[in-house]
Structure 1
Amino acid sequence: MHETDETAPGGQSPPPAPPETTWARFRKGPWWPACVLVLILAAAAGLFAGSYTYTMANPTPRNVPTAVVGGYDQARGNAFLTGLGKALDASVRVHTYDSRAAALGAVENQSVFAIFELRDEGRRVVLDVSSASGSSVAELLEQAAPAVGKETGVAVTVRDVNPLQDGDPRGLAIFYISLAAVIIGFVGAIQLSVHARGLTPMERIAFTVAYSLLGGFAIAAIVDWLLGALDLPFVESWLILALTMFASGMTFTMFNTLFGRWAMLPTWGVMILLGNPSSGGAVSWPLLPSALGVIGQWLPPGASVNAQHTAVYFAGHQHVFPFLVLAGWALVSCAVFWTWRHRHPGGRDKKPPELAPDAAAA
């Protein structure tokens, strides 16, 4: 055998390759993504704490829609409403109604959070709060209205026309079950991408539907049948939870298609950092910063809370909007995943395996 003499065209040996720099070795090794993750996790921890503290630690009324019936145009009644707005450091958005029945209908439709019925030319006020509409708003009004009544010489009587269920005295159970559906929804999609990487696109969607239906049933059954925390309209609540889980899972799958291994970042941002604090589940939307109160209704956590809240406490007055939001996220996510499914890191080769050389020779 003859050794080949690799020489340049001019008969000279090629110059040796420059030595790899430390930075190049660092970028190729496992330390680079590990360092990036350290920075991302630190930032995520700070943003997580900041977003929840900003929205929930000190809820402040900004725009509370209320119904007014009776002598609201009398001097004393007008002074009471003005004083209430100052006491809450917010504008009490007043909607006038001709009768208490019409005002109660507005409460059931969740257009207003309370009813001020001014009697005896504004000398007496009956305040009907609705804890089911928002326990934090009802609590604020229950505290502020009697104090303002003393200052303005108005006698105030407070009643709760739509109280919370006994197993959910703080009104947080709906937020918790919606949060569980959101988190397990995208965590399930993450686990499918790790442990069932070979699923085809259609199989991946089918299994997301499967764990969403089963998971939604488990959440509803445990909270209602086992714990008795909420008396749920079972089928409706189950399907809302299942749709929430599916929308959340497919949102991660969409981001995994678009961003690969960094898909968790936009998923966490949309669902946890932004979606959950602005959902209105822990703090009613009139007490949230106004922008978050609007944005939250267009995200899966807020839509899930709204749909579930209406199903549990306002039967017969369900709105289509939260279902459109959940369905929209699910459909858009499926469409993006299906259109660019070749970019998704999962899937398997549909071609038959090649024969081994010995088998081919036989």
Structure 2
Amino acid sequence: MPASPNHRAVAVALLVPLIVSLTLWAFSWPAARIAPRDLPVGVAGAAPAADALAQRFESRAGAFEVHRYADADAARTAIEERAVYGAVILSAEGPRLLTASAASSVVAQLLTEAVTQAAPDGAAIPVTDVVAAPDADPRGSALGASVLPLTLAGVAAGALVTLMRLRGARAGAALAGASVLVGVAATTLAHTWLGVITGDWWTEAAAIASTTLAAGATVAGLGALLGTRGIGVGALLVVLLGNPFSGVTSAPELLPAPVGTIGQWLPPGAGGSLLRSVAFFDGNASGRPALILALWALLGLTAVLLAGRRRPESAAPAPAGRTPEPALTP
């Protein structure tokens, strides 16, 4: 029995505040609780001084995850491989700091402030940006803002496949084709025109296409399993939770637990990490996010392909013992 107009009006009045509250919680709560949580940092230098510095980092319980390195070259390599966000080098000339603003300008600033405050009064701490963000986007704002449009593109592709009742191989081809075109278009804008990503052009396009495909296949797969309701579930998972939990505008280790970890297992978080790795770090630390995106895409496409093998309802045979009525002719 369909709901009455009064019931529908009450449902709208209750659902809208609920959706707004959930959206504000998802986007505002992580942003309001940014702080280092097991943030990987490096320390390099002679044992007595380096041990004391490592203990100072570890004294802030749960804030930093300290990695020890033999010298500055080893620490620099660890930063380039995305094993740590920065490192403090202790030498005869005094302490100096290595950062990577391309990994996170927020973390680079946080480490600079922390080391400067710990230095003796009036002492200047040299800071070297090992992997600098591009001049066109020194704060990484454009990269952070790019994840939401890519996610929305995937949601739109998955929703259109569901609403247009595309099934099986046609649905998979539509999702793949849309994702490839999004990758080419977005890379042309972000790399060729704006210059906010500076890695290999085709690798960046593949990373963007993978992010879009993972989001689109997730929505289309849920649509194949749940019908049009699956579009809402997919959008809730990918956009409402995946985007604010991604940590792409700061760092996953700055978000409240377990939000940062959850976000890296969703398409936006994995896509942001993959794009950052291929755009600025020569693909270092790209294996895990690429695997996560492939898993989401595989699960979604499998659901779409399996749904395509089911017989459409319109083709179902008439019940036994019942003959169809003859068509009326004028």
TM-score range, shorter chain: 0.7 to 0.9
What is the letter of the counterpart of residue 152 of structure 2? Answer: I
1:51 aligns with 2:26: yes
Once the two structures are superposed, what CA deviation does each residue of 1:196-228 show, in whole Å capped at 9, x if it has no partner? 33x333212211111111122111112222333
Question: Distance between the aligned counterparts of 1:313 and 1:170, measured in 2?
Answer: 14
Q: 1:118 to 1:47 in 2, by over 3 A?
A: same
1:96 aligns with 2:68: yes
User: How many aligned positions are there?
Assistant: 323
Structure 2 runs not aligned, ≥5 long = 318-325
1:253 aligns with 2:225: no
Match of 2:108 in 1: 138
Q: Percent identity?
A: 28
Give how far 1:335 is off: 1.6
Match of 1:8 in 2: none
Once the two structures are superposed, what CA deviation does each residue of 1:335-359 show, in whole Å capped at 9, x if it has no partner? 2233344779x897599xxx96669
Match of 1:124 in 2: 94
> Aligned runs of 1:79-118 on 2, under 5 Å?
79-83=52-56, 91-118=63-90
RMSD of the TM alignment (CA)? Answer: 3.0
TM-score (norm: length of structure 1): 0.79
1:263 aligns with 2:230: yes
Give how far 1:72 is off: 4.7
> Of the candidates 65, 84, 89, which is equivalent to residue 40 of structure 2?
65
Match of 1:276 in 2: 243
Give how far 1:49 is off: 1.4
Q: 1:30 to 1:324 in 2, by over 3 A?
A: farther
> Of the candidates 190, 198, 217, which is equivalent to residue 231 of structure 1?
198
> Of the candidates 319, 323, 333, which is equivalent to residue 300 of structure 2?
333
> Of the candidates 145, 149, 157, which is equivalent to residue 188 of structure 1?
157
1:160 aligns with 2:129: yes
Question: Distance between the aligned counterparts of 2:313 and 2:70, measured in 1?
Answer: 62
Q: 1:91 to 1:248 in 2, by over 3 A?
A: closer
1:148 aligns with 2:118: yes
- The residue matched to 2:87 in structure 1 has which SS? strand
Q: Which stretch of the first structure deviates more once superposed, 54-63 or 154-163?
A: 154-163
Q: Which stretch of the first structure deviates more once superposed, 251-260 or 124-133?
A: 251-260
Q: 1:262 to 1:343 in 2, by over 3 A?
A: farther
Once the two structures are superposed, what CA deviation does each residue of 1:308-339 show, in whole Å capped at 9, x if it has no partner? 10001101525321111111111111222333
8 Å contact kept, 1:135–1:171: yes
What is the letter of the counterpart of residue 79 of structure 2? Answer: V
Question: Distance between the aligned counterparts of 1:69 and 1:342, measured in 2?
Answer: 59
Structure 1 runs not aligned, ≥5 long = 1-23
Give how far 1:139 is off: 0.5
> Of the candidates 177, 183, 205, which is equivalent to residue 210 of structure 1?
177
Question: Distance between the aligned counterparts of 1:308 and 1:336, measured in 2?
Answer: 26
8 Å contact kept, 2:199–2:282: no
8 Å contact kept, 1:83–1:148: no
What is the letter of the counterpart of residue 21 of structure 2? Answer: G
What is the letter of the counterpart of residue 220 of structure 1? Answer: T
What is the letter of the counterpart of residue 274 of structure 2? Answer: A
8 Å contact kept, 2:183–2:208: yes
Question: Distance between the aligned counterparts of 1:347 and 1:323, measured in 2?
Answer: 37
Match of 1:171 in 2: 140
- The residue matched to 1:150 in structure 2 has which SS? coil
8 Å contact kept, 1:250–1:330: yes
What is the letter of the counterpart of residue 225 of structure 2? Answer: L
Question: Distance between the aligned counterparts of 2:313 and 2:327, measured in 1?
Answer: 23
Once the two structures are superposed, what CA deviation does each residue of 1:165-223 show, in whole Å capped at 9, x if it has no partner? 011111132232232111111112213333x33x3332122111111111221111122
Question: Distance between the aligned counterparts of 2:224 and 2:310, measured in 1?
Answer: 6
TM-score (norm: length of structure 2): 0.86
